[in-house]
A and B are shown apart, each in its own frame.
Chain A
């Protein structure tokens, strides 16, 4: 205290020497502290303290990319595909890890089995209620046992968790699913999605259980390999087997047994877009038919009936078209360019008696006009100008856009068709389906998915909720053809008031309960259960076509097939989809019990059931130290980095060096003027 009250005089010579010595001691102490063994290990050392910014660096000794390969084996018999996906994980790091990987599935897939192979041992997964499976997985993980958990986040998005993969471990996860191939225009299409596009979740209230997914940057290929092989077995010869997405090698075309494999594709990665395979059967007709399966407890059927050819409508109601176009960041580039081509084709072909409007949406939305305008040349030119000027940026707020659409006034007696164009990279499917079913189901809602790996769940669900049709355009060259297909459909429905019934057979639990209008080129598909004798029964389809009443009958005799056990799974999958739609409409988890029961009874993966496989042996003695690694997915081909970054606009300060230049300039100028003054 005295020191401050009575300041000491200048230091003496000895004082200065002591001061020097004291500083030297401080320096020595600090040096010792700095180089003490406590900081010798880099992993434990506090690097330069950075409380806010995360420095993105992988942990030493951890394998960030444990998925090494995906191999897909597809066997198509008739209209049913049975798919086996084998994912091969290997830990090439030095620590045990938990691998998390989000991957896509087909929208119609019924996932019915999973196996895990650990070296020579086989672990068979069981279906369990989702929470119970999660608890069992976490427990096994903590105990150090290798375990795998497969969960469904969306009907077409799955998450695989594999815990306690030891360094050098080879883990092979086999996944089995089946699906119905629904033909269009006498062509059969099989789709295997390879990547989940980045989803925009919207406001926090939008919810959704999509996991946070890491993505590789645009153009960055994943080192994981991808291979797919398809075998088609048909009663009639298979012809015209093509893939618009991949280079394929096709063997034995023109015979009933065709084999398809990926051709070497050079440097172009194969797993950043959907694998699409199209084929036609001899006769150029949809193989209309009825399949009946007699099971142990219950019997199942599948009806696939080709509709009549489109007939010219004699009297067409006044028609109104509203084009709802996504111009968000993920549409930037070729999806948006394709959308422009598509709209130009559609709008350009409207008749002057038609009316139309265009609603563009991203983070916000705007309309061409407050009300629909006649399709005059001037209005079409104006719409074209608007479309040409649009650029992809911002978020994907589809729900507000659809709400605005629901509020759009419509004249009495006008038939309105809504055409939604998007890549579907959103996370709000339930809200969208609910909105469409509540407000737009009296209009025909057509969904146009554009992109190399669109969210087919959203696109197909939109069309289903709006009683319309789904279209997927994966390449710009397909836009014109798909636009023409849509134009034909919306020109005049092929079959309306469709009703299916059995005579002589007791059919129940029929899916869908009500058939939508048939818009052309696509068969009527119905699943259900049956009781009774098939010898003298028949399936009757009735409806109204452009030429008047329509009726077709099909005898059930001879259609029983004991190899069609997949019908049981496909029926359950269809019922789960219907219950999920209902749940989306009602909100909450009103159908949880029914869906869980169906999943457990049929051994199917659903939003409420998961597959779990647990090893009996404890292999990792220290599971707490196993880091979790998220396998990054490649960006879908054609999707730019805009889709995963800067989606929500913000207002960052200017670059630091520019700002500093300005400040130094201001200070310098101040001092300079001061000196001159």
Chain B
């Protein structure tokens, strides 16, 4: 027999209305409370400091949440709810002392924790958190911190590959001298964009496939290896063509990059889905 409690006082009626708010509304309120971080992210994209790639991750995150709304419980998990509160607090405090990007990462994690709080126990959380972070303008910062090492590694591995192919190749910093011709591996060549794409791919496939967190975590490093290999192959092919003395046309340049990216993403999907047997 179901007990129905009917509030009779004014305050009780208000509490009742709050109680009937759907989880999506709670999430919306939490996201709204963190609006300065989103405003910062939007400004950063709008002023050209970063590519608007995050919009794709944001859309994927929103789709994922929307898909799970019917499964959301009206009673959020206390542990995740607490985590969301801590992350929200950290995002707020970060505004005073930490770079805006760090605050925005806390804010994104807060929203991911908030969403996770309403989901059934055992539902994967990492892909959702990954998409939330990828929704932020992180590519420029990745370029700043990881770009140079990636360029050096790419240039060195490409040099070895070209040497194996019989070409006179030498690395000088992040530049390569191939058959007497200087080809630079500069920031746009670093592969950072490919890193974002690969992790986006991994998070989206794992999130929509409800892949368990520990399995996702175990398979994720393979995405990094695919990216590195892909960028080295792409760079080696283009450098070899440049070194022939004939400038590579823009269309061919783009074509090679896109084919390699597609192959990298296919590899990431294959690994995240569990390889040949597709076990998860």
Interface-forming stretch among A339-347, A487-495, A654-662? A654-662
Query: A13 and B19 in contact (CB under 8 A), knowing A50-B44, A649-B247?
Result: yes
Which B residues between 50 and 102 are near A, CB-CB below 8 angstroms? 50-51, 53, 56, 60, 75-79, 81-82, 85, 88-89, 92, 95-96, 99-101
8 closest A-B pairs (Cβ-Cβ)?
A48-B44, A50-B49, A654-B257, A652-B188, A10-B75, A651-B238, A13-B15, A8-B78
Which A residues between 527 and 578 are near B, CB-CB below 8 angstroms? none
| B197 pairs with A663, CB closer than 8 A | yes
Find the B residue at minimum CB distance from A22. Answer: B85
| A666 pairs with B50, CB closer than 8 A | no
For residue A263, which residues in chain B have a CB less than 8 angstroms away from its CB? none
| B29 pairs with A33, CB closer than 8 A | no
| B140 pairs with A52, CB closer than 8 A | yes
For residue B96, which residues in chain A have a CB less than 8 angstroms away from its CB? 33
- Measured CA separation A663–B181 after assembly (Å): 33
Interface 1/0 per residue, A336-363 and B, CB below 8 Å? 0000000000000000000000000011
Interface 1/0 per residue, A632-658 and B, CB below 8 Å? 000000000000000011111111101
Query: Any chain B CB within 8 A of the CB of A71?
Result: no
Query: Any chain B CB within 8 A of the CB of A671?
Result: yes
Interface 1/0 per residue, B111-149 and A, CB below 8 Å? 000000000000000000000000001001101100100
Query: Any chain B CB within 8 A of the CB of A55?
Result: yes
Query: Any chain A CB within 8 A of the CB of B18?
Result: yes
A4-B82, A663-B197 given; 5 more Cβ-contact pairs under 8 Å: A4-B79, A13-B19, A23-B88, A364-B243, A651-B238
For residue B245, which residues in chain A have a CB less than 8 angstroms away from its CB? 362-364, 366
For residue A593, which residues in chain B have a CB less than 8 angstroms away from its CB? none
| B179 pairs with A364, CB closer than 8 A | yes
Task: List the interface of chain A (C-beta within 8 A of B).
Answer: 3-4, 7-11, 13-14, 16-17, 19-20, 22-24, 26-27, 29-31, 33-34, 46-53, 55, 203, 362-366, 391, 393-395, 397, 400, 648-656, 658-660, 662-667, 670-671, 674
Whole-angstrom distance between the Cβ of B60 and the nearest chain A Cβ = 8
Interface 1/0 per residue, B201-234 and A, CB below 8 Å? 1001100110000000000000000000001001
For residue A11, which residues in chain B have a CB less than 8 angstroms away from its CB? 76, 78, 81
| A664 pairs with B56, CB closer than 8 A | yes
Query: A46 and B19 in contact (CB under 8 A), knowing A52-B144, A649-B183?
Result: no
- Measured CA separation A667–B268 after assembly (Å): 10
- Measured CA separation A651–B253 after assembly (Å): 8
| A667 pairs with B88, CB closer than 8 A | no
For residue B49, which residues in chain A have a CB less than 8 angstroms away from its CB? 47-50, 53, 55
| B183 pairs with A651, CB closer than 8 A | yes
Whole-angstrom distance between the Cβ of A464 and the nearest chain B Cβ = 28
| A34 pairs with B36, CB closer than 8 A | yes
| A203 pairs with B88, CB closer than 8 A | no
| B185 pairs with A651, CB closer than 8 A | yes
- Measured CA separation A49–B137 after assembly (Å): 10
| A659 pairs with B140, CB closer than 8 A | no
**Among A13, A400, A650: residue with most chain B CB under 10 A:** A650
Partner of A667, one of B137, B183, B205: B205
Query: Any chain A CB within 8 A of the CB of B265?
Result: yes
Whole-angstrom distance between the Cβ of A557 and the nearest chain B Cβ = 60
Partner of B197, one of A22, A27, A391, A660: A660
Query: Any chain A CB within 8 A of the CB of B254?
Result: yes
Instruction: Give the secondary structure class of B's interface.
Output: helix
For residue A49, which residues in chain B have a CB less than 8 angstroms away from its CB? 44, 49, 99-101, 141
For residue A51, which residues in chain B have a CB less than 8 angstroms away from its CB? 140-141, 144
For residue A4, which residues in chain B have a CB less than 8 angstroms away from its CB? 79, 82
Query: Any chain A CB within 8 A of the CB of B157?
Result: no
Residues of B in contact (CB 8 Å), total 90
| B78 pairs with A666, CB closer than 8 A | no
Query: A47 and B36 in contact (CB under 8 A), knowing A7-B78, A52-B143, A650-B185?
Result: no
- Measured CA separation A76–B56 after assembly (Å): 69
| B43 pairs with A46, CB closer than 8 A | no
| A26 pairs with B140, CB closer than 8 A | no
- Measured CA separation A365–B243 after assembly (Å): 11
Partner of B43, one of A7, A48, A664: A48
- Measured CA separation A658–B258 after assembly (Å): 8
| A20 pairs with B29, CB closer than 8 A | yes
Query: Any chain A CB within 8 A of the CB of B194?
Result: yes
Whole-angstrom distance between the Cβ of B142 and the nearest chain A Cβ = 9
Which B residues between 258 and 280 are near A, CB-CB below 8 angstroms? 258, 261-262, 265-266, 269, 273
| A26 pairs with B56, CB closer than 8 A | no
Which B residues between 148 and 188 are near A, CB-CB below 8 angstroms? 175, 179-188
Whole-angstrom distance between the Cβ of A13 and the nearest chain B Cβ = 4
| B234 pairs with A651, CB closer than 8 A | yes
Query: Any chain A CB within 8 A of the CB of B24?
Result: no
Find the A residue at minimum CB distance from B183. Answer: A649
For residue A671, which residues in chain B have a CB less than 8 angstroms away from its CB? 205, 208
**Among B147, B187, B261: residue with most chain A CB under 10 A:** B261
Whole-angstrom distance between the Cβ of A531 and the nearest chain B Cβ = 54
| A29 pairs with B92, CB closer than 8 A | yes
Find the A residue at minimum CB distance from B51. Answer: A656
| A660 pairs with B56, CB closer than 8 A | yes
Find the B residue at minimum CB distance from A47. Answer: B47
For residue A670, which residues in chain B have a CB less than 8 angstroms away from its CB? 205, 269, 273
Query: A653 and B247 in contact (CB under 8 A), knowing A7-B78, A666-B265?
Result: no
| A53 pairs with B257, CB closer than 8 A | no
For residue A52, which residues in chain B have a CB less than 8 angstroms away from its CB? 140-141, 143-144, 147, 187
- Measured CA separation A20–B26 after assembly (Å): 9
| A659 pairs with B257, CB closer than 8 A | yes
Whole-angstrom distance between the Cβ of A336 and the nearest chain B Cβ = 14
| B182 pairs with A203, CB closer than 8 A | yes
Query: A26 and B89 in contact (CB under 8 A), knowing A31-B36, A50-B50, A654-B257?
Result: yes
Find the A residue at minimum CB distance from B182. Answer: A648
Query: A659 and B234 in contact (CB under 8 A), knowing A8-B82, A31-B36, A650-B188?
Result: no
| B265 pairs with A662, CB closer than 8 A | yes
- Measured CA separation A519–B88 after assembly (Å): 84
Find the A residue at minimum CB distance from B239. Answer: A651
Whole-angstrom distance between the Cβ of B261 and the nearest chain A Cβ = 5
Find the A residue at minimum CB distance from B99. Answer: A49
Whole-angstrom distance between the Cβ of A203 and the nearest chain B Cβ = 7
Whole-angstrom distance between the Cβ of A426 and the nearest chain B Cβ = 14
- Measured CA separation A24–B100 after assembly (Å): 20
Find the B residue at minimum CB distance from A656. Answer: B51
- Measured CA separation A173–B179 after assembly (Å): 48
| A27 pairs with B35, CB closer than 8 A | yes
For residue B273, which residues in chain A have a CB less than 8 angstroms away from its CB? 670, 674
- Measured CA separation A666–B201 after assembly (Å): 8
| A7 pairs with B79, CB closer than 8 A | yes
Whole-angstrom distance between the Cβ of B220 and the nearest chain A Cβ = 16
A-B contact pairs, 15 of them (CB 8 A): A17-B18, A27-B34, A47-B43, A49-B99, A362-B245, A363-B180, A400-B180, A648-B184, A651-B189, A653-B231, A659-B258, A663-B56, A663-B201, A667-B200, A667-B269
Whole-angstrom distance between the Cβ of B259 and the nearest chain A Cβ = 9
Find the B residue at minimum CB distance from A31. Answer: B36
Whole-angstrom distance between the Cβ of A389 and the nearest chain B Cβ = 10
Partner of A656, one of B40, B53, B137: B53
Query: A363 and B78 in contact (CB under 8 A), knowing A17-B15, A653-B257?
Result: no
- Measured CA separation A23–B35 after assembly (Å): 11
